[in-house]
Amino acid sequence: MSLVSVIIPIYNRLDYIGEAIESVLIQTYGDYEIIVVDDGSTLDVSSVVTPYMTKIKYVSQSHKGLSAARNTGIKNSNGEYLAFLDDDDLFEPRKLEVQMALLETNPDIGFVYSDCHEFDSQEKREPWLNLAVGRDQSRNEFSKLFFMNPNIRIPTVLFRRKCFEDVGLFDESLEQHEDGDMLLRTALRWEVQFSHYPSARVRQHGDRMSRNRAGMYQAIITSSQKILEEFPDFKRDLEGYSDRRMAALHYLLAHAYLENQMITKAREAFISCAQFRDPVKYRAYCYILLLSLGNTLGTMFARMIGVMRGLIN
């Protein structure tokens, strides 16, 4: 058996870390290490993980963000393979067994990924299956589909350590979407493999970072621009879809700013949207015109059109 390092970053959330660790301890694959990285929590994380101290490696650092915490975990790990579990999510019992079998039989695969079950932390609804993008597609097709719709949950992924040696660690300049950035950079250099075993359960609740929609869209824009510059052949393969995606992201960012009453930033995002060659830019022109009427009146009309579009669509 080859060693798998499971890295669990935590920051000021104590309610679920025990469940997360337990979901690793019950894995049917036995050769793993668990590294819990406390990213400068102001709450007493060590007291909560004390019952597991003989089964985990506990590392603490000053608060630097999720990317830095994952990178610290990588630097303190020994495994040939790496898995990442958020402190509020869970692995399914056979995750490591199933995904390790795929990685060890094909050295060209950089990572394995799967669908996941998502569930409401308040148990107000039944768990539902989130279908990963690019299922059973070639590496090239996967990369294109993921660029357009980066829907893969990081707990469903198992990486080969060599990927990080090849493409670098998580981008610490990204406050969100650092996992999507890493997955696409890896897929542009390595083969990828979909596993039909849903390998994780992802908890949905109000304090997930992804609820900061403006921050998420801005991070995806930053990552996408960087990748298109770094991989010009990939941009060429995308043809006009790269402009379509970037226009749509700026358009969504502008609406997120509108929802937060950040009118100047919304106007700037609509202007950025209009610079790309895509039909959505004509909607952006309308919003720019409306917002030029003045903050109060322009915002009222812009929000009204946004609501009407939602009802029509």
**Which residue ranges make up each domain of the chain?**
4-207, 213-312
With 50 as the cut, is the pLDDT of residue 166 above it?
yes
pLDDT band at 295 (very low <50, low <70, confident <90, very high): low
Q: Is 289:302 a contact under the CB 8 Å cutoff?
A: no
State whether CATH 3.40.80.10 applies to domain 4-207: no
pLDDT of residue 285: 60
pLDDT of residue 210: 47
pLDDT band at 211 (very low <50, low <70, confident <90, very high): low
Extract the tokens encoding 277.
Answer: 């060659």
With 80 as the cut, is the pLDDT of residue 278 above it?
no
If 0-12 CB within 10 Å is exposed, 13-18 middle and 19+ buried, where does residue 308 land? exposed
Q: Is 121:168 a contact under the CB 8 Å cutoff?
A: no
Q: Is 221:246 a contact under the CB 8 Å cutoff?
A: yes
DSSP 135-188: TT--HHHHHHHHHH-----GGG-EEEHHHHHHH-S--TT-SS-HHHHHHHHHHT
pLDDT of residue 102: 97
pLDDT of residue 292: 61
Rounded to an integer, the average pLDDT of 291-306 is: 52
Among the listed ranges 121-125, 173-177, 198-202, 280-284, which one has the minimum average pLDDT value? 280-284
Among the listed ranges 149-153, 163-167, 234-238, 273-277, which one has the minimum average pLDDT value? 273-277
Strand order of the sheet with strand 57-61?
A: 57-61, 32-39, 4-10, 81-84, 158-160, 109-114, 191-195
Extract the tokens encoding 240.
Answer: 């006009």
Q: What is the chain's mean pLDDT, rounded?
A: 88
Q: Is 155:85 a contact under the CB 8 Å cutoff?
A: yes
Burial 74-92 (b: 16+ CB within 10 A, else e): beebebbbbbbbbbbbbbb
With 60 as the cut, is the pLDDT of residue 294 above it?
no
Rounded to an integer, the average pLDDT of 201-225 is: 83
Q: Please indicate whether residue 66 or residue 136 has the higher confidence score (pLDDT).
A: 66
The C-alpha atoms of residue 230 and residue 240 are separated, in whole angstroms, by 18
* Share of residues in the chain with pLDDT > 90 (%): 70
With 60 as the cut, is the pLDDT of residue 297 above it?
no
Rounded to an integer, the average pLDDT of 272-281 is: 73
Strand order of the sheet with strand 90-91?
A: 90-91, 200-204, 116-120, 128-130
With 80 as the cut, is the pLDDT of residue 279 above it?
no
Q: Please indicate whether residue 295 or residue 279 has the higher confidence score (pLDDT).
A: 279
With 60 as the cut, is the pLDDT of residue 307 above it?
no
The C-alpha atoms of residue 89 and residue 145 are separated, in whole angstroms, by 25
Extract the tokens encoding 132.
Answer: 């990963």
| pTM of structure | 0.88
Q: Is 16:88 a contact under the CB 8 Å cutoff?
A: yes
pLDDT band at 224 (very low <50, low <70, confident <90, very high): very high
pLDDT band at 22 (very low <50, low <70, confident <90, very high): very high
Beta strand pairing status for 200-204 and 128-130? unpaired
* Share of residues in the chain with pLDDT > 70 (%): 86
